[in-house]
Amino acid sequence: MATDGWQATVADRATEYITERTWKKLFTARRSGLCKALADLAAETLATKKKLHSAVGWLAAWLVKRFGRGRLAVTVARELAENLPLPVDAKFTAVARGVQLTGIVICLADGQDLARCPCFVALALSETKDHLKKILASAVDNWAGLANFPASLRAAAE
């Protein structure tokens, strides 16, 4: 994963969305603590997405209550509004993941062990959690579907 080709690919993709000048500054500026700051920014971005969903849910509940509907209707409106995807969801996630990937490239450029890279750790934990959710969802639907999930991520690469 940590090959020069992977780093170049991420760098090429990143410069499509941030200026080349900013990208170069990432590698010429003092980078002490930069990955941690980027990891925190990614976490805050994802937390803001959740807060936005909560705010939309609160607004929907307030409107339904204002229209004189009962508690159950208010609860349904709030829960639907909180859980349905919003048009900006993909952007929030893309920004968070892009920031994390940038941090990972910085850690690799500094020769850091990825196990100590805050952005890599956050991304790995998030992806592992998503992978676990998929396994559990498959188990609920059909245990035969569990064969689609290898015993470990190492097995998936083999």
The answer, yes or no, to whether residue 52 has pLDDT greater than 70, is yes
The answer, yes or no, to whether residue 157 has pLDDT greater than 50, is no
Instruction: HSE, CB side, 13 Å, CA atoms: give it for residue 136.
Output: 6
pLDDT at 65: 95
Please state the pTM of the whole predicted model.
0.70
Give the phi and the psi of residue 124 in degrees, each rounded to 5.
-65, -45
- Domain ranges, ordered by start, for the chain: 32-157
Segment 134-147 mean pLDDT: 63
Give the phi and the psi of residue 60 in degrees, each rounded to 5.
-60, -45
pLDDT at 109: 83
Rounded CA gap, 119 and 14, in Å?
Answer: 15
pLDDT digits (tens, 9 = 90+) for 7-19: 666 666 666 778 8
Eight-class DSSP state of 115: G
Rounded CA gap, 120 and 39, in Å?
Answer: 9
Res. 4 pLDDT band, cuts 50 70 90 = low
Segment 76-104 mean pLDDT: 90
pLDDT at 15: 64
